[in-house]
């Protein structure tokens, strides 16, 4: 067993997400061990974003290191994605922000120091770089949406719902879909209803009726669709809100 494996809980088969939970409860020794063990992961993600080799002496790596630590603090277990998937996303976003900031600073300094005849060349270079960043962000959004779809699919299965079942239970009328959307939003706004749904894997119809204006029959008929919408909120699938339900509003 390697030193890293011994440090991370004594048994390398302990899920990383469990170790993250321990860190969030105050285990700083474990935090340092995780960060040290996953420096190659951080370097790989940063290098991929920058499209060049990044070593541990570079500013980009430092940004990635801070982002990884941020991911440790912000990760919520059981919300649809593995920690490394979440950390990958946080690192990528922070690196892109860093690149943008550096690009603006370099462009400002360069334009101040160059002759007017050179400004067009610099402007073209900046536009090309911005286009590359925008293209990368679009690819990242596609990847994030794909990953969230797979995580959402797995979460639905815990409730006995497949995408095929969901498509069959999607209300045909717009007003019925709107009622289901409102019911899902009201459900996630009440912790006791969310707790019931998670524990029983069933819709808390009796309690939900206290907050909605539609009938019990309507709730029961659309219960699987309401559960599916509620799980988008509960699972934190931000990329899926507009993808699955374009008119869905964000829960505050």
Write out pLDDT tens, residues 19-43. 999 999 999 999 999 999 999 999 9
Same-domain check for residues 124 and 176: no
Range of the domain at 127: 38-146
**Choice between 91 and 109, residue whose per-residue pLDDT is larger:** 91
Same-domain check for residues 48 and 127: yes
**End position of a domain, from candidates 111, 146, 181:** 146
DSSP labels for the chain?
--HHHHHTTS-TTS-HHHHHHHHHTT-HHHHHHHHHHTHHHHHHHHHHHHTS---TTSHHHHHHHHHHHHHHHH--TTSSS-HHHHHHHHHHHHHHHHHHHHHHHHHHHHHHHS-GGGHHHHHHHHHHHHHHHHHHHHHHHHHHHHHHHHHHHHHHHHTT--HHHHHHTS-SSHHHHHHHHHHHHHHHT-HHHHHHHHHHSS--HHHHTTT-SS-HHHHHHTHHHHHHHHHHHHTT-HHHHHHH-TTPPPP-
Return the pLDDT at 128. 56
Return the pLDDT at 65. 95
Strongest mean pLDDT among 7-11, 107-111, 116-120, 238-242: 238-242
22 within a domain of the structure (yes/no): no
Same-domain check for residues 125 and 199: no
Q: How far apart are CA 69 and CA 30, in angstroms?
A: 12
Return the pLDDT at 105. 52
Q: How far apart are CA 22 and CA 11, in angstroms?
A: 15
105 within a domain of the structure (yes/no): yes
Residue 178 and residue 193 in contact, taking contact as beta carbons nearer than 8 Å: no
**End position of a domain, from candidates 146, 179, 203:** 146
Same-domain check for residues 239 and 192: yes
What is the rounded average pLDDT for all residues in the chain?
Answer: 79
126 within a domain of the structure (yes/no): yes
Domain count within the chain: 2
17 within a domain of the structure (yes/no): no
127 within a domain of the structure (yes/no): yes
Q: Considering the entire predicted model, what is its pTM?
A: 0.50
Same-domain check for residues 179 and 87: no
**Residue 13 pLDDT > 80:** no
19 within a domain of the structure (yes/no): no
55 within a domain of the structure (yes/no): yes
**End position of a domain, from candidates 116, 146, 176:** 146
**Choice between 239 and 55, residue whose per-residue pLDDT is larger:** 55
26 within a domain of the structure (yes/no): no
Same-domain check for residues 60 and 129: yes
Same-domain check for residues 141 and 174: no
Same-domain check for residues 136 and 55: yes
Same-domain check for residues 58 and 129: yes
Residues making up the chain, counted from first to last = 252
Same-domain check for residues 139 and 233: no
Same-domain check for residues 138 and 182: no
């Amino acid at each position: 067993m390697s030193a890293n494996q011994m440090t991370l809980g004594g048994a390398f088969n302990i899920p990383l997400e469990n170790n993250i939970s321990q860190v969030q409860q105050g285990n700083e020794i474990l935090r340092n061990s995780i960060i040290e063990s996953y420096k190659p992961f951080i370097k790989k993600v940063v290098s991929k974003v920058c499209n060049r080799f990044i070593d541990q002496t570079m500013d980009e790596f430092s940004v990635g290191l801070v982002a990884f630590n941020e991911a440790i603090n912000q990760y919520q277990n059981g919300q649809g994605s593995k920690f490394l998937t979440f950390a990958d996303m946080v690192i990528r976003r922070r690196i892109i922000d860093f690149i943008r900031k550096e690009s603006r600073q370099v462009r400002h300094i360069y334009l101040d120091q160059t002759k007017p005849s050179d400004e067009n060349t610099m402007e073209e270079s900046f536009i090309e770089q911005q286009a590359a960043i925008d293209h990368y962000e679009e690819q990242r959004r596609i990847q994030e949406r794909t990953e969230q779809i797979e995580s959402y699919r797995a979460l639905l299965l815990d409730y006995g719902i497949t995408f095929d079942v969901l498509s069959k239970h999607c209300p045909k009328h717009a007003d019925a879909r709107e009622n289901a959307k409102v019911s899902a939003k009201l459900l996630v706004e009440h912790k006791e209803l969310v707790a019931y749904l998670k524990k029983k894997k069933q819709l808390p119809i009796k309690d939900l009726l206290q907050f909605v204006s539609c009938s019990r029959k309507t709730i029961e008929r659309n219960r699987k669709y309401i559960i599916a919408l509620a799980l988008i909120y509960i699972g934190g699938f931000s990329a899926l809100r507009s993808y699955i339900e374009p008119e869905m509003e964000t829960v505050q």
